[in-house]
A and B are shown apart, each in its own frame.
Chain A
Amino acid sequence: DTGVSQDPRHKITKRGQNVTFRCDPISEHNRLYWYRQTLGQGPEFLTYFQNEAQLEKSRLLSDRFSAERPKGSFSTLEIQRTEQGDSAMYLCASSQTMGQSYGYTFGSGTRLTVV
């Protein structure tokens, strides 16, 4: 395992289009988190999963956003009817709740630009 993978690295889309991002966590990690980060700000929590269950969603996650982790492995984050304000870096992280753990492992992120 080489870490947390996110795809694509960059996405440019027109306002009103739908986009989907994928995150592949470290295989033995049962928790998966999504964050959003805009320029000059710290990452903002969006949602997290334990296995396939979505345990918490931030109020930042409007009804245009949906996240899934269908088999408890990879996860997708979809944004419908994108707006310019959705332009940001979307970060995924994973961790485990059992055994020795040293915090989250983050991916390199997907940078979304809505034009």
Chain B
Amino acid sequence: DAKTTQPPSMDCAEGRAANLPCNHSTISGNEYVYWYRQIHSQGPQYIIHGLKNNETNEMASLIITEDRKSSTLILPHATLRDTAVYYCIALKTSYDKVIFGPGTSLSVIP
């Protein structure tokens, strides 16, 4: 699976959009970009995934660049409950072994 790189931490004002970047320059054509998040003292939670088209669900939007070397997870109106560590992972299938990196620690500030 391709390696991903994320900033270690970010801040976002409550009510604003949180844009979390992820670089995956070595991603292969059959690897999806998956996002999980982990709120303190809970297990990680699946957010969204995509291959090359932009995706949106009730939690977030995922924007993947045309060359697929990077992507951005967007939380359109961040709330305090979105404070968490966000993990970006490249996987061929939803059931591949997930190797978590350090992720991005997002702090939503009142």
Interface positions of A (Cβ within 8 A of B): 4, 31, 33, 35, 41-45, 48, 56, 91, 93, 95-97, 101-109
**Quick one: closest B residue to A103, CB to CB?**
B46
Complex interface: chain B residues within 8 A of A31 (CB): 95
A-B contact pairs, 6 of them (CB 8 A): A4-B43, A42-B85, A45-B97, A91-B44, A93-B44, A107-B43
Contact A106 B101 (CB under 8 A): no
Q: How many interface contacts (CB-CB < 8 Å) are there between A and B? A: 56
Contact A108 B42 (CB under 8 A): yes
Pick from B43, B49, B95: contact of A106, CB under 8 Å: B43
Which residues B66-110 have CB closer than 8 A to chain A?
85, 87, 93-95, 97-103
**Quick one: closest B residue to A106, CB to CB?**
B43
Complex interface: chain B residues within 8 A of A101 (CB): 94-95
Complex interface: chain A residues within 8 A of B98 (CB): 33, 45, 104
Contact B102 A103 (CB under 8 A): no
Given contacts A93-B43, A103-B34, contact A56 B97 (CB under 8 A): yes
Closest 7 CB pairs of A and B: A106-B43, A103-B46, A42-B100, A101-B94, A95-B95, A43-B100, A97-B95
Complex interface: chain A residues within 8 A of B103 (CB): 42
> Nearest Cβ distance between residue B20 and chain A, in whole angstroms?
15
Bound-complex Cα distance A48 to B97 (A): 8
Contact B94 A102 (CB under 8 A): yes
Complex interface: chain B residues within 8 A of A33 (CB): 97-98
Complex interface: chain B residues within 8 A of A104 (CB): 36, 44, 46, 94-95, 98
> Nearest Cβ distance between residue B102 and chain A, in whole angstroms?
6
> Nearest Cβ distance between residue A49 and chain B, in whole angstroms?
12
Contact A43 B97 (CB under 8 A): no
Contact A102 B46 (CB under 8 A): yes
> Nearest Cβ distance between residue A82 and chain B, in whole angstroms?
21
**Quick one: closest A residue to B48, CB to CB?**
A102
Bound-complex Cα distance A56 to B99 (A): 13
- Is residue B45 contacting chain A, with contact meaning CB distance below 8 A? yes
